[in-house]
Structure 1
Amino acid sequence: MSLITTRTAGVFVIAVTPFDETGALDRASLERVTDFYFEKGADGLTILGMMGEAPKLTQAESREVAAAAIRRAGGKPVVVGVSAPGLAAIGELSKAVMDLGAAGVMVAPPMGLTTNEQVESYFAQVVEVLGPDVPLVLQDFPLSTKVPISTGSLGRILEAHDSIVMVKHEDWPGLAKISALRAAEAAGRRRVSILCGNGGVFLPEEVARGADGAMTGFGFPEMLAEVVQRAAAGDMDRAQDIFDAYLPLVRYEQQPGAGLAVRKYVLAKRGAIASAAQRRPGAALPPAAVAEVERMLARQEAKLAALAEPA
């Protein structure tokens, strides 16, 4: 399997972890949803992310999910989230998944880092634990981690560690940070890949600012793929038109505590997974929310039909 690099681009879907109604891993659905993501245009996958319910898995289950997804991907790149409170756990899981054929690993800073110096020291320690040959994605997600990383601090981290080949950018608001990173590269700093998260809420603008694509989840990964392709090609109006058709559902997924339930409901409805179940703690969508999602899906279908290009 190829490794991610500073030139990696496209869409790496944050994969859900399928469970059955008892909370057990659904291994058949894991294979099915992996196929689904690639069939719908994903260039790669990121597994065991925050929306993959990674904290609810045991270490053994994490390795099992990684092994199954990497095997099913058939050589296409799979990045594995390995964030953990301690560096020993990060190092152990990283070695296991790289030995299985992962394309790289992703680490977010743990809560409790309050200064630029602490953040910079933390990633220096992560790189030391992983070694120089493991491609690393730095996840910049202060809304979740509560650890803001200034543009200057991020730049110093990138300058110090060549093995950090990608930034998963999901600061919010964060468009100016993308511009600043690219401006620094134009002035001579080494290039890194930038893939963006936050459910794709700002995806057209992020690509226009210089992002290489998306690393996020959504029940319609084909939207992410088409928007990135068209925006990267300079067809911003068409990219925005496609994005706008899906925007109500993208927005609805942003509800704290409900977003994963929405995403799994849509994926189950589309046949990508057998059940929308989450492992506890986690709840299914209530009937009122199901009705709202169904209405959005119907309107989305109508908008896409109106946008369909002539054969």
Structure 2
Amino acid sequence: MSADSAMREVVSQAYAQRRDAWESAAVRIKHWLKQQQKGLLKNKDISRLDVDGHRIKDPARTLAKLVEKAADDPDLRVSTPQDVENHIRDIVGVKVLCKSPRDQKMMFDSLTDPQQLGAFALIEQKNYVDPPKPSGYRACHVTLQIPSDQGEPVFAEIQVKTRLQDAWGELTHEDMYKPGAAMKPSELHGEFARAMANMLATVDDMADTLAVELSALTNPDLDTTVPSAADDTIEVKVRATGPKYALAVDGDGRQGLIPAFAVRKLSDSKGTIKVNDFISVDDRLRATVEEDSKGLYYIPMALP
């Protein structure tokens, strides 16, 4: 039996013996990622992060990667199913799609923080955003080791991409760049793919800038001071809080923002604060009303 044939047999054994464990691990990772999503985006737009399913790598691609590794390393030995998993650690893959590069960095930082991982172990992290791969590919990859009740722990790769980075793969047939691909990209194809990647990265950066500008509206630079007891005030009830603002509603059902600068003045704090350190959901506050072309704001007289 040739070396390639022997390796093909071991790969087949690995898939026959371990596929159920891989599938179970993928489901567990997705559930955990959804909890991460809720934790990172509490009181915010949950669609900024989307756990986009999973895949088990095609056996032919696993074999192709092993053959390539063996060609580069004559001492590489693959004789057991466990050897297959030890050498190819992205057989289980899960994708997280993000609205913007800021969200991508937030998710990547969370996945590489040992305090957030619990029973999972961080094995490897790769940032292909800065710089990207020569092909133009951009993404963040994190390899984790997941405990399994079906034998040895499972390795899994989580790919964190913006939606536009993921779209680039669809538009350029990213699979053409991978080991064992039936077709290889021409020089012209490569030039177009890199140009498209750069253009989409520019759009991603513009989306980030837009998000920052919109976020700034929640902390406007209003020329106002904390009101005195003599000012006309209304009572508002807090419905949601976050680091930069609280959302409140008045007796007429109008919703407005309590901005960070007003809370900072009342707290006598210096520098940046988090509004939700001082104001909680269901708090009732006396406040004056400020309204301009950007929105409606409630300026509290005192903190709860």
Taking structure 2 as the reference length, the TM-score comes to 0.23
Mark the structure with the bigger radius of gyration. 2
Q: Report 1 or 2 for greater relative contact order, CA contacts < 8 Å, sequence distance ≥ 6.
A: 1
Taking structure 1 as the reference length, the TM-score comes to 0.22
Return the structure number with greater strand share: 2
